Each structure stands twice: as structure tokens, then as C-alpha cells.
Amino acid sequence: MHEDSEVLRRPVVLSVSGLGVKVGGKTVLENVSFNLEAKETLAIVGPNGSGKTTLFRALMGLVPHSGRVSWSTESKIGLVPQSLVATDLPITVAEFLSLKCKAGFQESMNSVGLGMEVLRQRLGSLSGGELQRVLIAWAIVDRPRVLLFDEPTSGVDIGAEEPIYQRLESLKEQLGITTLLISHNMHVVMHYSDYVLALNKRPLLFSETKNVSHTKLLEIIYGAQVTPQGTAPQEAERPSS
């Protein structure tokens, strides 16, 4: 992934080489390769069904895969899943968080903009956006070294999304967290990631985010027809290898 010597300073947290996943004989992912270094944020983008969630599952060892996935030994991982059906779960937010760890509730609730009174509410009584924020709080409560976010703010109000990312950004600085983020929100991708991987079963683009424009990224993912006209961005592309 990195070709310039400057970036060899930080330890590699995750190394993926030739990753492939088949489900029921159908190829869902193939030939995915990248390295991620400490404190970097990698955004993973692609259309529905392009294999993003499957990539996370493979990285966590939850689905069989070919190729190599190698985590550095001290990588404690926090996962924010794409969805959780919590309607009937008879436990409170505090009880849910305490399944993972017994302290740090205030900091993690604050990070996602939820008041402490929410701790007493049952998971099943929360709105979709509140539940999504609780899932983020749950992922960060035990201070992981790596966060995997599968569209973590998809149910959150538009106005509430940005503050969550801002808080996560400062948490990342504080704790040195390495992040993999799946998002359909190109604004989030462009502002909060260092690298971007565009996927459609196989890698379409791997680039430093600052070297690819929003327009170009949309064009790569969805085709030229959705691209606003009249822009001629400068971008640098580097296919995953």
C-alpha cells in the first residue's frame, strides 16, 4: 500500500494480502490487499452488495476466506455493526456496556453525545439513532486499539453525525486508535479518512484520500452517470496490489 519511505515510521496494524471470500460458491470478494498503519483511518466505500461488510467479517475471522489477514498482536478490536435487532432485548444501556467493561461509561456516552440518563433506558426502547450511538459507545468503552465501523451513523440525525465524528477524531488522537470505516457518506469519507478503498467485489481504487476528489470517487463507485458535470479534478490513483 505504501510506496514512499516516509510512511514506514509507524507500525503496521493490519496487513491484508490476496483476500478472497466465496459464499455458496459465489465470489463475494477477491484479490483485496492493503496495509494499515497505526492511527490511520481507512474508509471503505462501494455500492450495496459490494462486499464491505463481508470484508469486515473476514478481517474478524467470522467467515472463511482465502489469502492472508494479519493483525499486529496487541490489536484489541471494537466493532460497530451495521445493525442490531434490539427490540426485545430486556437489558438497559448500562447493563449492555457493562457486558464489555465496568468503567468509562461517561466518557464513551459523552463521545457519542448521549446523556447519562440514557444508561437507565432499555436497549429496546431506544430510537434507531440512539441505538446506533449506543453501539458506538459500546465499541469504544474499553478503549480498543482498532475500531471497525460499519456505517456507524446511518441511523443518526444529519446534524448529529458530524459531532460524533469530531468527537471520535479527538478520541482517536488521544488513544491512538486505528480505524476502518464503511460509509456511504462521501463528506465523512473525504473529511475523516486518510486512505480510501473503493470496492466492488474487487478493489477499484486504493488512494490517499487527499489525492482523490469526491467527484472522482463517486465516478469510480457508481459510474460516470452520477457524476456532477463540469469538474476536472486532479487526482492520483493507485490500484491495490
Ligand X SMILES: Nc1ncnc2c1ncn2[C@@H]1O[C@H](COP(=O)(O)OP(=O)(O)OP(=O)(O)O)[C@@H](O)[C@H]1O
Name the site residues for ligand X (rule: CB under 6 A): 23-24, 28, 46, 48-54, 82
Of 82 and 92, CB closest to Mg ion: 82
Question: If contact means CB under 5 to 8 A according to the sort of partner, which of ligand X, Mg ion, none does residue 23 touch?
Answer: ligand X
Sequence length of the chain is 241
Q: Which amino acid is at 226?
A: V
For residues 19 and 59, what is the distance between their CA atoms, to the nearest angstrom? 9
For residues 230 and 55, what is the distance between their CA atoms, to the nearest angstrom? 34
DSSP string, 54-88: HHHHHHTT-S--EEEEEE-TT--EEEE-S----TT
Which segment (50-58, 118-126, 127-135, 184-192) binds Mg ion by CB under 5 A? 50-58
Quick note: the x/- pattern for Mg ion over 138-177, rule CB under 5 A, is ----------------------------------------
Angle between helices 128-140 and 158-175 (to 10 degrees): 0
For residues 111 and 148, what is the distance between their CA atoms, to the nearest angstrom? 16
Which segment (23-31, 47-55, 132-140, 222-230) binds Mg ion by CB under 5 A? 47-55
CB 84 to Mg ion: min, Å: 13
Grid look-up 481507512 returns: 42
Beta bridge partners of 180: 42, 148
Q: Looking at 53, 111, 178, 193, which residue binds Mg ion (CB under 5 A)? A: 53
Quick note: the x/- pattern for Mg ion over 65-104, rule CB under 5 A, is -----------------x----------------------
CB 239 to ligand X: min, Å: 19
Binding site for Mg ion (CB under 5 A): 52-53, 82
